[in-house]
Amino acid sequence: MTSTLLTGLSELWTLDPALDDPGRPGDIAEGQVLRDAALVIEDGVIAWTGPAAAAPSADRAEDLGGRAVLPGWVDSHSHLIFDGDRAAEFEARMAGQPYAAGGIGVTTEATRAASEERLRDLTRARIAEARRGGTTCLETKTGYGLSVEEELRGARLASALVAEGELDEATFLGAHLVPHEYTGRAEEYVDLVTGPMLAAVAPHVRWIDVFCEEGAFDPEQSERVLCAGAEAGLGLRVHGHQLGRSGGVALAVELGAASVDHLNHLDAADLEQLAASDTVATVLPACDLSTRAPLAPARELLDAGARLAIASNANPGTSWTSSVSFCVTTAVLQMHLSLGEAVRAATRGGALALRREDVGHLAVGARADLHVLDAPAAIHLAYRPGMPLTHQVWRAGIRQR
């Protein structure tokens, strides 16, 4: 068992859950950010944190030179298993075309045509890119296969990457869009998703998701998908209220989903319902900007008392970036969160959305996932928007870059 001592931490954001302030659940509490700190990693987990002056010795030591250290980002929403490019669709959108769910079909065509090896290489490269940006815990979804065979191929790939420690969580999203071969037969496609497709895929994933939105699946169809998933032992996630008040919030809360994601269109009753539930409200700032949608009301969600997460939603159609740092910057500059609220939502919030306690913080016993910034204070993420501030990334005690 080798231990590593890191010194020279100008800020150490432990976000220790034991120190949470119940009066301000979405913000940083007293003692959760240490100054002039040190930490010890042992066996891939945090073994000690505290003032540099009191640091114990270890087998090896490294001086971080006065840099701020955060928990690695926990990205609870991405779609990385695909082939194809939709830059033309994006360009048309920037020229005034509205976003519609149908673009998913374009990526489905390209993904179905990709070889096994190509799909694996593309997905691996995207995970590596996310890692270089400070993401150390990553969920990804199927959803560009949309047939039993192709969804199974995506789920197997995701589960192999989880087993290799590249990915952390795999989600089945057969209910992403009704594929063209089922045009006019949406109910039959839902039968397929909830029957043979789910049976094939369930052993390879932990979660099931549904795109509950106009142009994708209505609330009744979405409920069938989620109930079948729950019956198969999967945890529930929902895409909802992206294009309108789709009913996804009520469904997610009623069925006890871990998370409902997007949330661009919420009324006061939705806010209240989320605040009174355990369902995490996940906002996706990069997607909001890339679709020119109204920004999800992150400030209002926190003020109402909802549990908030920030994720990248990296996908080829609506958010072709896995940069959680960019999302955090946007949340501060444009969604009116404090830096502490935004960092917390992209770490502890993401972990909660994935129902995980081992990541998203750096208290003793947590997985040693560190995001070392090339800055003396984390506020530089918003103060220096767009600058390459990721200096080092550690996952489970191993330095990745």
SS3 216: coil
* Helical residues (DSSP H) of 95-168, grouped into ranges: 104-113, 116-132, 148-163
Q: Give the residue nearest to ligand NIG (CB).
A: 317
User: Which of 71, 316, 349, 397 is close enough to bind ligand NIG by CB under 6 A?
Assistant: 316
- Report the C-alpha gap between 155 and 146 in whole angstroms: 11
- Report the C-alpha gap between 282 and 240 in whole angstroms: 10
Question: Can residue 242 be called a binding residue for ligand NIG (CB under 6 A)?
Answer: yes
Question: Can residue 240 be called a binding residue for ligand NIG (CB under 6 A)?
Answer: no
User: Which of 111, 222, 313, 392 is close enough to bind ligand NIG by CB under 6 A?
Assistant: 313
26 or 240: whose CB is closer to ligand NIG?
A: 240
In this structure, what token pair is assigned to residue 200? 């094939």
User: Which of 55, 104, 298, 335 is close enough to bind ligand NIG by CB under 6 A?
Assistant: 104
CA 367 to chain centre: 17
Question: Can residue 142 be called a binding residue for ligand NIG (CB under 6 A)?
Answer: no
Burial of 336 (C-beta count, 10 Å sphere; 0-12/13-18/19+): middle
Question: Can residue 107 be called a binding residue for ligand NIG (CB under 6 A)?
Answer: yes
User: From residue 328, how far is each of 132, 313, 331, 347, 376 by CA, in Å?
Assistant: 16, 13, 5, 10, 17
Q: How far is the CB of 386 from ligand NIG (least distance, A)?
A: 22
The residues pairing with 389 across neighbouring beta strands, listed in sequence order, are none
Number of chain positions touching ligand NIG (CB under 6 A): 13
Question: What is the CB neighbour count within 10 angstroms for residue 203?
Answer: 12
What is the DSSP code (8-state) at residue 380? H
CA 258 to chain centre: 12
Q: Which residues from 276-295 bind ligand NIG, rule CB under 6 A?
A: 287
User: Which of 26, 317, 349, 397 is close enough to bind ligand NIG by CB under 6 A?
Assistant: 317
Of 164, 81, 155, nearest to 125 (Cα)?
A: 81
The region of 24-32, 48-56, 264-272, 309-317 touching ligand NIG under the rule CB under 6 A is 309-317
| Residue 401, amino acid | R
- Report the C-alpha gap between 288 and 343 in whole angstroms: 18
Contacts of 128 (CB under 8 A, 6+ apart): none
In this structure, what token pair is assigned to residue 378? 């984390």
- Report the C-alpha gap between 47 and 43 in whole angstroms: 9
103 or 154: whose CB is closer to ligand NIG?
A: 103
CA 137 to chain centre: 8
Q: Which residues from 328-387 bind ligand NIG, rule CB under 6 A?
A: none
- Report the C-alpha gap between 80 and 84 in whole angstroms: 11
Q: How far is the CB of 240 from ligand NIG (least distance, A)?
A: 9
15 or 287: whose CB is closer to ligand NIG?
A: 287
32 or 313: whose CB is closer to ligand NIG?
A: 313
Q: How far is the CB of 143 from ligand NIG (least distance, A)?
A: 7
Q: How far is the CB of 236 from ligand NIG (least distance, A)?
A: 16
Q: How far is the CB of 211 from ligand NIG (least distance, A)?
A: 5
Question: Can residue 26 be called a binding residue for ligand NIG (CB under 6 A)?
Answer: no
194 or 264: whose CB is closer to ligand NIG?
A: 264
User: Which of 4, 32, 123, 318 is close enough to bind ligand NIG by CB under 6 A?
Assistant: 318
42 or 151: whose CB is closer to ligand NIG?
A: 151
Q: Which residues from 203-232 bind ligand NIG, rule CB under 6 A?
A: 211
239 or 367: whose CB is closer to ligand NIG?
A: 239
Q: Which residues from 249-278 bind ligand NIG, rule CB under 6 A?
A: none
The region of 23-31, 159-167, 316-324, 336-344 touching ligand NIG under the rule CB under 6 A is 316-324
SS3 232: coil
Binding site for ligand NIG (CB under 6 A): 79, 103-104, 107, 211, 239, 242, 287, 313, 315-318
